[in-house]
Structure 1
Amino acid sequence: MTLALQPLTDDDRELIELARRTVDTNTDGPDGVHTMGAAVRGIDGRMYAGINLYHFTGGPCAELVALGRARAEGARELTTIVAVGNEGRGVVGPCGRDRQVFVDYHPTIRVILPSPTGPGSALATDLLPGAYRWTP
C-alpha cells in the first residue's frame, strides 16, 4: 500500500523550520546521530517544540516531548506534528511507538513525513491502519 501524502502548506514549512531550529540549537553534534527535534501546532496556531533525550536504555522521542510540552501549556487540540534530524538530516518519520501515541491521543493530527519527492503529510490514522485503540 502506498501512502498518498498531502502537499505542505506554509504553516507546515513554518513548523518544520521550528523543529530544525530546535534540533540545530540543541544537537549533540556530529556524534549525536540520534538527536531529533520536533514541533507540533495547536488548533489556535501556537507551536510547541521538543527535543529527544536519547539514551541506550530508551528515552522519550522528540515528538513525545513536543506533545508533552503542548499539553503542559494547555494545548489539547493539535493539528500537525513533525520531527527533524540533526546535522541537516531533514524531516524524519515517527517510530511505531509515536504513531500509536498519535492515534490514541490525536487521531486526526497530520504528520509531516519524508518522501522521495519531498515532505508531505498524512493523518496519523493512515500511518497505523488497524491500530489497537487505547482510550486514555
Structure 2
Amino acid sequence: MTTQIQQVDHELIQAAAQVARTRCRGDNHTMAAAGRAGDGRIVTAVNAYHFTGGPCAELVLIGAAAAQGVYELDTIVAVGDRDRGVVPPCGRCRQVLLDYFPALKVIVGEGDRTRTVLIADLLPESYVWADHQLDAD
C-alpha cells in the first residue's frame, strides 16, 4: 500500500516545468527535475541522454545538489519537455533515490491526480544499498 502525503509542492513542480520549457532543447535534454532541500532551497537539473544510458534528470540533480552543498533532499519531481507534465522516476532512479535519501518524498501523477508519495513506496521490498554500507563500517 502506498503512503500518500497530502501536500503537493506545486512550487517544485513549477520550477521543474520552467527548466523543462527553457533548458530542454533537442533529444539530449528532454527531462527536468527539481528537488527541495531541507532548508527550503530548490535545486534543478536536466537529463543528459546518451545511447549508453546517460543519466536521468533525477540522477543529475543529486550531483547538482551536492555541488551546491545540498546533501539532503526532502522532495523531488521530474517533468518532461513539450508540456508532458510530471513523469515518475524510472526503476534505476527509484533505487538510487532510495539509497541516497530513504525518507525522500516524490511527486507523481498527472493533472488533478498529482500526489506525493514516499520513495520507499515506489520501490517496495527493495534491496537497500544504504543499509549494506552501514554494515560495512
With the shorter chain as reference, the TM-score category is 0.7 to 0.9
Aligned residue number for residue 6 of structure 1? 5
Amino acid at match of 2:15: L
Shift in Å, 1:47? 0.5
The one-letter amino acid paired with 1:68 is G
Rounded Cα–Cα distance in structure 2 between residues aligned with 1:81 and 1:124 = 10
- 8 Å Cα contact 2:3/2:121 also seen in 1: no
Report whether the alignment pairs 1:89 with 2:66. Answer: no
CA RMSD of aligned residues (A): 1.9
What pairs with 1:54-93 in structure 2 (closer than 5 Å)? 54-93=49-88
In the TM superposition, residue 7 of structure 1 has moved relative to its aligned partner by 3.4
Q: Using the TM superposition, give the Cα deviation of residue 28 of structure 1 relative to its aligned residue in structure 2, in angstroms.
A: 2.3
Amino acid at match of 2:24: T
2: CA distance between counterparts of 1:51 and 1:34? 6
Which runs of 5 or more residues in structure 1 are unaligned?
A: none
TM norm structure 2? 0.87
Letter in 2 for 1:96: G
For 1:17 and 1:4, the matched residues in 2 are separated by: 23
* Counterpart Cα distance in 2 of 1:26 and 1:119: 23
**Residue 104 of structure 2 contacts residue 118 of structure 2 at CA under 8 Å; is this kept in 1?**
yes
Kindly tell me: are residues 95 and 81 of structure 1, through their superposed partners in 2, closer, same or farther at Cα, counting changes over 3 Å?
same
Instruction: Name the % identity.
Output: 50
Higher helix fraction (1 or 2): 2
**Residue 13 of structure 2, aligned match among 11, 16, 24:** 16
User: Structure 2 counterpart of 1:83, which letter?
Assistant: A
Q: Structure 2: where are the runs of 5+ without partners?
A: none
TM-score (ref. length: structure 1): 0.87
| C-alpha distance in 2 between matches for 1:67 and 1:61 | 10
Q: Secondary structure at the match of 1:101?
A: helix
Q: Hey, what's the Cα distance between the residues in 2 that align with 1:20 and 1:116?
A: 13
Aligned pair count reads 131
